[in-house]
Structure 1
């Protein structure tokens, strides 16, 4: 079982079907890939540019600016070609990097093109160096750098590595067959290096795409978790029928209020629908639910922090209101609900509400409960006195 698991993990590395992206995902991935490989591209361009300037200066100094030998002219040509390539890549890179248009795809092509040029150039320099040396470090360094740090698609990287290796190998074998020198060791090393470099390049391509898709999957799961959490939080703190805050959130709200250390007058209004039982009996519970929604919407329009407190009872909390403002707010609730002209069970009258309210300082749960108790007593008085009215709790009210 362990061996099967390992084989499955190994084959997943290059399973291209799992790495297919939508057009929007490709666009986002190109932006990410460009940012991830761009810094290595600029590092390579800067290093190679400085290196070519040094090489050109060295050849000129070594030949006393005459370039009298064939080898010096060939080396100079190779150095100038690479210097021109660096200059062109730098110009295009700067132009597209600071362009206002989306140039991510163009920049990725530029990075790959420059690296391909670097590989071909390294193969040429290595092959020409091999006339007098067994060193293949130039090609080796370039191949490993490109494979490990630059993002290239397999249909680009594999042919490039194969073509460079074929050209290098053909030149080395020609030297060996012509009796110039024994190149067997260099041939074996270059073939092994090319295989390793191609594998690294393929692995980088697949791992970058897989990591990006995994990141998108994690983001999507986090989004779903957040949405589900928000949905559950909404369900826990809101009344399912009216959408108002429920009693569970009332407990949370008052705890937050106490922790905040706020001071000032707190006014609580308990609103009860008049003759709501008769309304349900006359029109049915479906119509009754619609009535509750209309009342809830109206109370939200009036303002304050509104809760569904019970069956047909609603609680509204106002902060830092003067006595006159509180009286006006309570009366406005009654008149605004009546103005909705909701049909009632009493012939010739619109649906109305009764309001009991109380004000005071609220610094702990005991004082809050006292305000609720006082408002409830005032509501009882409003109903006893004929309904469709607002009553403030006064000390004598409770007597």
Structure 2
């Protein structure tokens, strides 16, 4: 999985049981043992202290403590080991170069799309970007919703104006620790972008290619709703590593989301999974769970297309209020239950990207290299 090099300095009689224990520990998102997934980069011993190095191909900083405790408990059965010192790192899988040249400074591009408007796609894209950052990645977001750019308001930077230091490239905004670019930064508050499809697609390619992105592990693209010109241009001109489809459980939204899935499949962009938004409503009085838009639509769709259901988000007033106030939920209530759902979605998205990148790669064989 990971392309990191391995440094194992253990005697053969200790190496085998340690590797066996580490590989019996299944990573919940990669659904592989840590050795098989290529996450174990260093094994060394000082007296009875095991020095362990792990490198994940997806960001999961919030899980480090629990992971180390679980591994330490499993290794405690070995007499030769009294304590475990663990260093954990994150290195996104690099994209195999495809037909489209990669963007400078950007390792992975994730498109967030929906078949129709009104399903909470931009809210999901912004919170996904912030959740990937909270899990330890360097992240940017591009507002590709040319006709209805909402990212400037959602990130609380409506007045940002890009500058061009060299007359060719322009700066991105920085908000809540992520980089952001939007056509909304170029237009006045009430101006609408009234463009034909090809013009809009051209503007989008320009925004993407002429922005001075900092070093990014992931660039999240908030796509315009639908499956038209812009979506096709993007998928042909941009090295998109994978797509996330946002839907609600409603039949009409699912019908449109299916078009989105098949569009990405046609242009050979892996669909990383489906986020079901407005999945249920929790009564603030009694905690009763209701399903105003129907139930399990996203799960059935994920099953039908054989892609993961990345998460189900509740219909909650404060999710909308948070983005309206320019401080999305992942930042506004970082420890709260909704933020935890977004963090879990971010981990799954990162892991799915890593898995799609290595399906065509020969697995790394383990050797005791001194």
Q: Identify the TM-score tier after normalising by the shorter chain.
A: under 0.3
* TM-score normalized by the length of structure 1: 0.24
Q: Which has the higher strand share?
A: 2
Structure possessing the higher radius of gyration over alpha carbons: 1
